[in-house]
Amino acid sequence: MSVLTYLQQHITVLDGGMGTLLQAAGLGAGELPERWNLTHPDIITDLHRQYYDAGSHIVSTNTFGANLLKFSAAELEDIIKAAVQHARTAASQSTTEGEKFVALDIGPTGKLLKPYGDLDFEEAVELFAATVRLGVQYGVDLILIETMNDLYETKAALLAAKENSTLPVFVSNAYGADGKLMTGANVDAVVALLEGMGADAIGVNCSLGPQQLVPIVEQYLARSSLPILVQPNAGLPEVKNGVTVFNVLPPSFAETMSYLVERGIRVVGGCCGTTPSYIAAVCEKIRGKAPLPIQPKHITCASSYTHAVDFTDMPVLIGERINPTGKKRFKQAVREHDMGYILNEGIAQQQKGVQLLDVNVGLPEIDEVRLLTDTVCQLQAVVDLPLQIDTADPVAMESALRRYNGKAMVNSVNGKAESMARIFPLVKKYGGLVVALTLDENGIPATAAERVAIAQNILGTAATYGIAAKDIVFDTLCMTVSADPQAGNVTLSALKTIKETLGCHTSLGISNVSFGLPCREAVNSTFFAMALQNGLSAAIMNPYADDMLKTYHAFCALTGRDENCAGYLAFAAQQAPSVCADTHTLTLQEAIIKGLGDAAATLTAQLLTTTDGLTVVQNEIIPALDRVGTGYEQHTVFLPQLLMSAEAAKAAFGVIKSALKNETAADKGHVIIATVKGDIHDIGKNIVKLLLENYGFRVTDLGKDVAPRTVLEAVQSTGSRLVALSALMTTTVPAMEETVQLLHREAPGCRVIVGGAVLTADYAAAIGADYYGADAMEAVRYAEKIC
């Protein structure tokens, strides 16, 4: 019988702790327990046998940390082979009746993935894959991924298991007392990702005792349509008489586990501090209990690395601004790989209150696979909203979905057989909430009935891939009303039918409706209100359009979706014009010196009504910057003030740039800036970048952890004559030296300035740098000399 067949009918019992028992048997601190499979086979086999004897149906191999980071390929194979053998031997030695399965145990690598650690996602997948392949080769019955405290690493492990085996995969995460993983994911986010990718059972282990896990388990039971597994610690460790003991004993452990079985969990076991006697107590307590049926939950959601956004009765706002279509500045950013600009668009939209972000960076002349993937990864370092990945290129879609940390929205599939054949397998493999456009090989139907028919066809085809209706959101296509007076009516009629008769959620790109018309805001916001009234679940919209937000909040208040109008009142309070009282008494120079960004922008706009932009720069902004810069050099102005002034100046420059669209702004030259390979700190780099921009330099920011060759390529493609490199630690200075050497060899006309906490002028000279910048102002002064 397979473990999944068994699980359908029975409460299934896992084993308990291993580490605690091995320590009791003499495993030293810092010694690798997996090696005991080779050195102490009898002890390992006996521990497994004790668990089977106690009533475990599944014993997990002693391979928690068995991966290529800790062992050579040859030793890893020996360890996994032996580990599986020990579990099999134990199963045959055990005298108890009942099914006996062997699970390949996989724990975390101990490394944190990028962007906050240095383990690349694909490297992580490959590490887990090597372990999985060996487990499969030596004949385990299932894979147990456990104690994962980071969602992204969990995804890597699950992906590796799915790509390298057809075995059932159980996934268990370790939560903190705050109900989140160490890297911030809540239960909703974890469940969304794991269900989306096709785990067979999911749940929680380690960190906490059984009682403390109850609220987290309840959330799993409420969210998930999968069998839930629970392996708590034996409470919290305490030191008594110099020995670690756990404060929950078998009877009360079994009591809580029995309660959880009554609540609906399907797989039980233990983690740190639990022993065969805990498992025996649990088996005794739950004997004869029939498992509760598992109810499908039908939750439609997308998720990020922290949380999920549910599609419910409350309409969802999806920000549309990360998209180059019709936006000159955005196109420039995409072409120049100006990630700062793109990320800013994401952060600004979140501040406007959208719950998801659409991400589209498609332009004919760019490498969309790379740029889309980069954009998704970098957005996920700074914006915790779920993303809607928007591309017509299935290769770019797969690349971005693979790297995405969460369950993304997929924009889009349509009724064409080819589209479904390309997109549905991706949704099945990586999980996703897919936007389905009601068009097919014959184009966009003119009638609502035909669009609904396409929707039905899409649902039927999705089902053959194992994709449920809850994971499809229909877009009934908003056409331009100026071209077809019935366009709005048809869209809304199809929308209403799909919502009411097919029971599916819907989404629309609102702005399309008003193309070609003047005063588009009125058309958009009115159509938005009509769509909401017809059951629209989500709108892809411009969050800077006040009328759209007004409509949204008013609609929610008017339809009983906003208790006490609280949301509306909060929104209205933000609508009051912000008062910049200071602008009456301040000059622009003073505003910049004091670091008042809003005032600086307002005053610049006022000055531009009587003066030209270049004069404002020459007479107001530059003198203010010089005063602050000199003050900083003389230690009368400190770093935070210098930065605040720089930001105020940037705000003033922004106003001037948008006013003189056709004039070229001052350009003193091009600087490439980066934090070197292996270094993940970038605050110093960001400070230098801001000041360089202030002083009129064009800056290409390559980010952090940048390989020497990437810097060289940027120099070669831009012709820049100055590179600024930052490193924080002595351990990353060698990477800086390597970069400097490479640049001097391959791009001899280019100078390199270096800076960072551990550097000194002597150290900089020793690694061959052209100049050492002790602080940001020195970097500016040097750039002025060189460029």
Partner 1 sequence: MNILTKTFSAPPVDVREIARYAGCRTENHDIEEKIRACVTEAQHLFKYTIVYTECPVAVTGTTVDFGVFRVPSQSLCRALAGCCTAVLFAATVGLEIDRLVARYGITEPSKALLLQSFGAERIEALCDRFGEFLKETTGKTLHPRFSPGYGDCPLCVQHDLFTVLDCSRKIGLSLTDTLLMSPTKSVTAVIGLEG
Q: Footprint of partner 1 on this chain (CB under 8 A)?
A: 28-30, 107-108, 110-112, 115-118, 147, 149-150, 174, 176-178, 182-184, 206, 237, 239, 242-244, 340, 343-344, 347-348, 381-384, 594-595, 635, 638-641, 643-644, 646-647, 678-683, 686-687, 690, 728-732, 735
CB contact set of 223 (below 8 Å; sequence gap of 6+):
187, 188, 191, 297, 299
- Give the shortest CB-117-to-partner 1 separation in angstroms: 5
Residue with Cβ nearer partner 1 (343 or 401): 343
Contact 750, 723 (CB under 8 A): yes
- E strand or H helix that includes residue 569: helix 566-575
> What pairing do the DSSP bridges indicate for beta strands 387-390 and 409-414?
parallel
Q: Check residue 112 and report its DSSP letter.
A: P
- Give the shortest CB-402-to-partner 1 separation in angstroms: 22
Residue with Cβ nearer partner 1 (17 or 108): 108
What three-state secondary structure class fits 604? helix
CA pair distance 54, 94, nearest whole angstrom: 9
CA pair distance 583, 580, nearest whole angstrom: 6
Indicate if the alpha-carbon torsion angle 154, 221, 431, 375 is positive or negative. negative
Contact 20, 275 (CB under 8 A): yes
CA pair distance 54, 44, nearest whole angstrom: 16
- Give the shortest CB-518-to-partner 1 separation in angstroms: 34
> In this structure, what token pair is assigned to residue 101?
């399965």
- E strand or H helix that includes residue 531: helix 520-533
- Give the shortest CB-704-to-partner 1 separation in angstroms: 9
> In this structure, what token pair is assigned to residue 30?
């810092």
Residue with Cβ nearer partner 1 (222 or 729): 729
Nearest partner of 602 among 633, 619, 580, 628, judged by Cα: 580
CB contact set of 133 (below 8 Å; sequence gap of 6+):
164, 165
- Give the shortest CB-94-to-partner 1 separation in angstroms: 30
- Give the shortest CB-678-to-partner 1 separation in angstroms: 4
Place of tokens 């990864």: 377
Residue with Cβ nearer partner 1 (49 or 685): 685
- Give the shortest CB-786-to-partner 1 separation in angstroms: 23
- Give the shortest CB-632-to-partner 1 separation in angstroms: 10
Residue with Cβ nearer partner 1 (541 or 643): 643
Residue with Cβ nearer partner 1 (5 or 730): 730
Strands (E), 345-396: 356-359, 387-390
CA pair distance 534, 372, nearest whole angstrom: 34
Residue with Cβ nearer partner 1 (198 or 340): 340
Residue with Cβ nearer partner 1 (258 or 350): 350
- Give the shortest CB-122-to-partner 1 separation in angstroms: 16
Residue with Cβ nearer partner 1 (205 or 514): 205
- Give the shortest CB-650-to-partner 1 separation in angstroms: 10
Q: Check residue 100 and report its DSSP letter.
A: -
Contact 426, 393 (CB under 8 A): no
Indicate if the alpha-carbon torsion angle 586, 590, 594, 599 is positive or negative. positive
Residue with Cβ nearer partner 1 (429 or 677): 677
